Amino acid sequence: MVAVRSDTDQPDARAAFFAAAPVGTAAGAPAVDLSVRIGNLTLHTPVMPASGCFGPELGALIPVGELGATVTKTVFGSARGGNPVHRLTEIPAGMVNSVGIPSRGPAGYLDELHPRYAALTVPTIISVGGHRVSEYAPVVAALGEHGAAYELNVSCPNLDRDGTDIGSDPAAIRAVVAAVRLVTDRPIIVKLPVLVASIADCALAAEEAGADGVCVANSIPAMPLAALTRRPILGNVIGGLSGPAIKPIVLRLVWLASRAVQIPVIACGGVESVEDALDYFSVGASAVQVGTASFARPFAAVEVARGLRERCLIAGLGSIRELLELEAAL
């Protein structure tokens, strides 16, 4: 087709979004400090994508530099294929995925993906998974200095035991973190599952073994059926529920975990807007991750980051903590 630009052509909304400088960055605006520390890593804003819900492809669609970090899809020690179709579906207020975490192993990640993450100018938090307690440290060692921090995805069935999640067993969490601590100085974040007997015990196990933060939480095991045939929609039958449906469940967990540990708690579950982020901050979170919301609105995480700054500016306050103190005093 012949591309004829006309005077009626509008630039696309993406271009306008890039051009709109975030408020408060102009000269003369009061200083707002949204930075957050996780171990020895400082993020300029407490907003990042959730693992598996971001890729370097988004670099051209959103101003990634306005996020505090990127988080990769989980990297496993050995190459894995992924689950049969269908791998995802939508139900009211949530999506269910059983992608199965295809991975090309640390070497494949470093070859193909990492250079594209490194080009994005914000710290890359590499998510690492395993099916045995012993599988995590070798992957982190192989990734070495490439991760600005490591997020350990312990929502994986433990093949050393009866297949219950590693992350539902405080002793296994302790063992994983201790082993990883020996091979890296980079911050370690432990991403916990939802279905645990005591989130406080799990978070505490991570902290005591040397983790620098916990991420609460992963998606929740679920089983969607097709309306007409009443058969499982997902090739894997079971998948992980995410999106707005899980936010109240995760709010409770974040609240409980925040009271149990001193290290930062990163909230992940149904964050779509700055209000959701502030809800999580109000129960103790120090940062948030945005997952499912990014599929329909690729700019969702950037909007949350811009919104936090804007809210502080409007209130004439310098930080989210001051904003929450003001609200708490109402």
Partner 1 sequence: MSIDTLDERRTADAARRAAAAQARVCAEADAAALDGLISVRPRQAGPRPQPVWDDAEVLVHEPVGERYRRLVLASSTIAHTAQAGQFVMLTVPPSGGDRILLPRPMAIHRRRAAIAGTPERPGTPGTIELIYGIVGRGTRALAAVAVGATLQVTGPLGRGFEFAAGAASALLIGRGVGICGVMGAAEDAAALGIRTTMVLSGQRPEQLLGRADCAELGVRVLEATDRDGSSALTTLAARLRDHFDASTPERTPPDVVMVCGAGVLARLAAELGAFWGVPVQASLEAHMACGLGYCHGCAAPVRTDASVEGPLVCADGPVFDARIPIV
Ligand X SMILES: Cc1cc2nc3c(=O)[nH]c(=O)nc-3n(C[C@H](O)[C@H](O)[C@H](O)COP(=O)(O)OP(=O)(O)OC[C@H]3O[C@@H](n4cnc5c(N)ncnc54)[C@H](O)[C@@H]3O)c2cc1C
Ligand Y SMILES: Cc1cc2nc3c(=O)[nH]c(=O)nc-3n(C[C@H](O)[C@H](O)[C@H](O)COP(=O)(O)O)c2cc1C
Residue 32 or 149: the one with the smaller Cβ distance to ligand Y is 149
Q: How far is the CB of 71 from ligand X (least distance, A)?
A: 23
318 binding partner (options partner 1, ligand X, ligand Y, none; Cβ < 5 to 8 Å by kind): none
Residue 89 or 319: the one with the smaller Cβ distance to ligand X is 89
Residues 6+ apart with CB under 8 A from 22: 66, 305, 306, 309
Residues numbered 81-110 forming contacts with ligand X, rule: CB under 6 A: 89-90
4 binding partner (options ligand X, partner 1, ligand Y, none; Cβ < 5 to 8 Å by kind): partner 1
Residues numbered 28-87 forming contacts with partner 1, rule: CB under 8 A: 52-58, 60-61, 73, 78-87
**Residue 193 interacts with ligand Y (CB under 6 A): yes or no:** no
* Site stretch for partner 1 (CB under 8 A), options 2-10, 34-42, 170-178, 322-330: 2-10
The answer to whether 53 is a known catalytic residue is: no
What are the backbone angles phi and psi of residue 189, rounded to the nearest 5°? -115, 135
Smallest Cα–Cα separation from 281: which of 260, 254, 301?
A: 254
What are the backbone angles phi and psi of residue 266, rounded to the nearest 5°? -100, 120
CA dihedral (20, 24, 28, 33) positive or negative: negative
Q: How far is the CB of 217 from partner 1 (least distance, A)?
A: 18
Count of positions on this chain that bind partner 1 (CB under 8 A) = 61
**Residue 101 interacts with ligand Y (CB under 6 A): yes or no:** yes
End-to-end CA distance of the chain: 60
**Cβ contact 55:64 at 8 Å:** no
Residues 6+ apart with CB under 8 A from 94: 222, 241, 242, 243, 244, 245, 246, 292
Question: HSE (CB half, 13 Å, CA atoms) of 94?
Answer: 18
CA dihedral (172, 177, 183, 188) positive or negative: positive
69 binding partner (options partner 1, ligand Y, ligand X, none; Cβ < 5 to 8 Å by kind): none
Among 53, 156, 202, 268, the one annotated catalytic: 156
Options 19, 92, 329, 330; binder of partner 1; rule CB under 8 A: 92
Strands 88-91 and 94-97 turn out to be antiparallel
Q: Tell me which residues touch ligand X (CB under 6 A).
A: 89-90
Active site residues: 156
Residues that bind partner 1 (CB under 8 A): 1-15, 52-58, 60-61, 73, 78-90, 92-95, 97, 99, 101-102, 104, 227-231, 243-244, 292, 294-299
